[in-house]
């Protein structure tokens, strides 16, 4: 009795085989328990089946819980089979294709070297001159013309005397 009850309570549908056979196995265990004078109601058995279904049946479970009427075991089987068929149709099989070019990675190696070269050029780039006046020998922050322009721009003009 305890082993039958434990096996019924621990059953989980793993997606192998079809769901009808799985539910029928649960029903057979429940009928064996009934022969041992432990009777499970059909509503309880339906709920145990629903609980044991995997996550991809979650939408199906929600639909059942939203309805006012309770299903019989036969109705549950037919709805589960329909849901399983729908899931199989929705499930798209896909393959990820990988292609190799004829140069077998030479392009990638070249791209990596080019990227490293750009990084090195950026790191070792020395200033070529002032960005403000364009003359060499100093940079913008040291440029006297830049400082004069900035002071003129930011200082308010004083009213001219007549």
Residue 104 has pLDDT above 70, yes or no: no
Q: Is the pTM of this model over 0.85?
A: no
- Identify the pLDDT of residue 66: 87
What is the tens place of the pLDDT at every residue in 106-161? 555 556 666 666 555 555 555 578 888 888 888 888 899 988 888 887 766 555 55
Question: Which residue has tokens 């001219």?
Answer: 160
Give 128 or 76, the one with higher predicted confidence: 76
Cα distance between residue 28 and residue 47, in whole Å: 16
- Identify the pLDDT of residue 83: 81
What is the domain partition of the chain in residue ranges? 2-87, 128-157
- Identify the pLDDT of residue 25: 92
């Amino acid at each position: 009795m305890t082993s039958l009850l434990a096996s019924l309570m621990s059953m989980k549908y793993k997606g192998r085989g079809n769901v009808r056979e799985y539910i029928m196995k649960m029903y057979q265990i429940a009928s064996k328990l009934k022969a041992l004078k432990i009777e499970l109601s059909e509503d309880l058995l339906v709920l145990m089946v629903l609980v044991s279904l995997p996550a991809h049946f979650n939408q199906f479970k929600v639909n059942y819980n939203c309805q006012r009427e309770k299903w019989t075991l036969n109705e549950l089987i037919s709805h589960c089979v329909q849901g399983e068929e729908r899931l199989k149709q929705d499930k798209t099989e896909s393959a990820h294709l990988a292609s190799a070019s004829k140069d077998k990675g030479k392009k990638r190696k070249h791209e990596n070297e080019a990227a490293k070269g750009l990084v090195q050029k950026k790191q070792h780039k020395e200033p070529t001159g002032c960005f403000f006046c364009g003359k060499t020998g100093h940079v913008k922050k040291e440029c006297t013309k830049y400082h004069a322009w900035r002071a003129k721009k930011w200082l308010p003009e004083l009213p001219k005397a007549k």
